Structure 1
Amino acid sequence: MQSKDLQIDWLRTFVAVVDTGSMTAAARQIARSQSAVSMQLKKLEDSVGRPLLNREPRQLSLTPAGFDLLGHARKLLASHSALVLAMHGGALSGRVTFGVPDDYAEPYLVPVLKSFTTRFGEVEVTLVCEESTALLAKVDRGEIDLAVVTRDAPSRGALLFREALVWGADEQHEVWKRDPLPIAVHELGGRLRTEILAALDVQQREYRVVYNSPNVGGQIAVALSGMAVAVLTRCSLPPSLKMLDGRQGLPELPVVEVVLIRSRDSKGSRAVDAMYEQVMSTLRDPLVIE
């Protein structure tokens, strides 16, 4: 009779495959061979009695059973890590330097920190709030351990969720009716900035950039003052600004991918491991898989 036990290693492998989007990347993350990853997934599916992943060329997606299992697996792995720490290492301590752009800090980082500090109050957390391009460079140099950023290249980082970009303006000033259109562009990286301006060019809409800054607060202030239409992430659009669309003659904006990245120098840090798991369990959209 087939055992119905779900071993921790199998669950860890399953979560790694979902988080990284491929068998190869998961093998690197958990320091196993690709054949071992495939074997552990097969054992897990045999134990569950149903397929967990739809395996398509260059793409994996969760089956209904996989979707049901994923949330339970994350909670079990987090509890297992806490138990190991309690039994073998006492209270977790150390330092984590965490990077996040200011528009993601309040809506997304607050719930992560609330849960993390409740569980690991002895860990010293340093926050670095800068634009995504600067944070990506600092992670590459090992200056910060983890960062939640807008993805700059395919397959970079573990995908957390997708975030819409929107047009925002003060309704009273109706600045979107001006010609040329004054726009305020947040630091969004060269590729995204190019896409936004190209979308206006396709509509043959004359525009001028009147504000550039990595600071979202300043961008919102410019929009509220009636100086410009601002490009903002959906999560940072305040109720005081009107979200604009094609009805105001503006093109649809790109949807960005928000990812968690980690420095190579942080490998082996239990404090960083714990923060990584907390971010993934708190922010990872269970419907998102690469």
Structure 2
Amino acid sequence: MRTDLNIGLLRTFLTIVECEGFARASQKLCLTQSAVSRQLSKLESSLGVKLLSRKQGRLLGVTKAGKELSLSGNELLSLHDTVVKKTIVTGKLTSIRLGIVNDIAPSYISRLLTHFSIHFPKITLDMSSGDSTQLLSNMKSRMIDIALIRQPPNNRVGDPLRKERLKWVGSPDIVFHNNGVVPLILFPEGCAYREQIIQALDREKIPWKAVFSSPDIATVEAGVLSKVGLVGLPESVIGNLPVHSLSSLPDLGYSELTLVTPKASKLSSALKDLISYIQNDFISYIQKDLEPQKELEPVTANSLESVAAI
């Protein structure tokens, strides 16, 4: 029976060998270490051989089969990339229009851009940001191809990727003047969780006043650090901002990070790859930042040569 070699899995394997370990390979590929490990396992399963020697999550070296694949695999990968580049150059240059909600941290966007530039160097990623209402409108009018938005739970628009608790953020030194009126920092109308914050306060009959509003997350953060008011933010957006723990403030519930895509029949291979990356590794990076995991030990150059051929 014929076995087809998956180029993406081959690229991952060759990068592990080149970087001498999972940790540096994951950084170069803009994938999580668990994703790199899964891809290696898929490649080994499809070929029916062990390519790398591992023990308790630690990479020990390259097997005999792995060394043979490494030698021929680099030539195959180089030929593949050359063919793809020539095909794209002679054909029509394409672009993907991604709309992304304006509270996503720049570090996550950087990972996404790096991943896309590695895998599709000749395709333009046209990225725009805005509030969730605006992005959904842009999807309907076909101004963008896919959108990463936030929405209240159970809205059932698109593919929910991550459910995040909304938390009160602000300096503990903020004083509530005028009979306990809460000074609010808000995103403009169209923000998915703006209404959740207002409704939570109104339900508890807690008076509030909007003291500052901005569509830009960096400006909102500046408002928090200036101690002018409180804001409700999803946990992945908070970063090093102070979480306000005043017990009299109401629970804000959750917000869902959601990916909205066109019908499967309209997806190009590049768009499918970007969607898969956002659904899996992009979300894994957010999870990893919130719940740090112990990194696998990198393999050394000496240990690669010291493993006996298998």
TM-score by length of 1: 0.61
**Where in structure 1 are there 5+ consecutive unaligned residues?**
9-67
Q: Which amino acid aligns with 1:95?
A: S
For 1:75 and 1:96, locate their aligned partners in 2 and report how far apart those are by CA, in whole Å: 30
Q: Paired residue for 2:145?
A: 145
CA deviation map 1:71-96 (0-9, x unaligned): 9489959xx9xx9x949x72466211
SS in 2 for 1:214: coil
SS at match of 1:98: strand
CA spacing shift, 1:191–1:283, aligned 2, 3 Å: closer
Residues 231 and 284 of structure 1: CA distance in aligned 2, closer, same or farther (over 3 Å): closer
Matched residues in 1 for 2:171 and 2:258: separation?
A: 31
Other-structure match for 1:90 = 84
Structure 1 residue 150: deviation in Å? Answer: 0.6
- Any idea what SS the aligned residue of 1:175 has? coil
Q: Is the 8 A contact 2:176 2:182 kept in 1?
A: yes
Would the aligned equivalents of 1:169 and 1:224 in 2 still touch at CA under 8 Å? yes
1:149 Cα deviation (Å)?
0.7
**Separation (CA, whole Å) in 1 of partners of 2:191 and 2:100:** 19
2:271 corresponds to 1:277 = no
Kept in 2: contact 1:187–1:212 (CA 8 A): yes
CA shift in 2, pair 1:74/1:124, >3 Å: farther
- Tell me the secondary structure at the aligned position of residue 84 of structure 2: coil
**Change over 3 Å in CA distance of 1:155–1:76 after alignment to 2:** farther
Give the counterpart letter for 1:256 in structure 2: S
Shift of the 164–106 alpha-carbon distance from structure 1 to 2, 3 Å rule, reads farther
Q: Supply the distance in 1 between the matched residues of 2:191 and 2:114 (Cα, whole angstroms).
A: 34
Q: Secondary structure at the match of 1:220?
A: helix
The alpha-carbon deviation at position 105 of structure 1 amounts to: 4.3
Question: What is the match of residue 99 of structure 1?
Answer: 99
Match of 1:110 in 2: 110
- Where structure 2 has 5 or more consecutive residues not aligned to the other structure, the ranges are 7-33, 47-76, 288-310
1:129–1:75 distance in 2 versus 1, CA, 3 Å: farther
1:175 corresponds in structure 2 to 175
Structure 1 residue aligned with 2:260: 261
Over residues 126-159 of structure 1, what are the superposed CA-to-partner deviations in whole Å (9 max), with x where a residue is unaligned? Answer: 1101111111111111101111111366221112
Structure-2 change in CA distance of 1:233 and 1:74 (3 Å): farther
Are 2:166 and 2:252, in contact at CA under 8 Å, matched by a contact in 1? yes
Matched-pair contact (CA < 8 Å) for 1:145–1:265? no
Alignment-derived partner of residue 122 in structure 1: 122
RMSD across aligned C-alpha pairs, in angstroms?
A: 3.9
Distance verdict in 2 for CA 1:74–1:113, change over 3 Å: farther
Describe the shift of the 1:222–1:232 C-alpha distance in structure 2 as closer, same or farther (beyond 3 A): same
1:220-264 deviations in Å (ceiling 9; x for gaps): 22222222112222222242x3201343x2111121111111245
Residue 266 to residue 214, structure 1, CA distance change in 2 (3 Å): farther
Deviation at 1:170, TM superposition (A): 2.5
Does structure 2 retain, via aligned residues, the 8 Å contact 1:175–1:229? no
Kept in 1: contact 2:151–2:193 (CA 8 A): no
Q: How does 1:6-85 map to 2 (within 5 A)?
A: 72=38
Give the aligned residue type for 1:193: R
Cα distance, 1:181 vs. partner?
1.1
Cα distance in structure 2, aligned partners of 1:158 and 1:150:
11
Question: Do the aligned partners of 2:134 and 2:190 also contact (CA within 8 Å) in 1?
Answer: no
Q: Distance in 1 between matches of 2:105 and 2:242?
A: 22
Provide closer, same or farther for how the CA distance between residues 282 and 188 of structure 1 changes in structure 2, counting only shifts above 3 A. farther
Q: Is the 8 A contact 1:95 1:124 kept in 2?
A: yes
Q: If you compute each CA radius of gyration, which structure gives the higher value, 1 or 2?
A: 2
The runs of at least 4 aligned residues of structure 1 exceeding 6 Å deviation read none
TM-score (norm 2): 0.58
User: Deviation at 1:270?
Assistant: 2.8
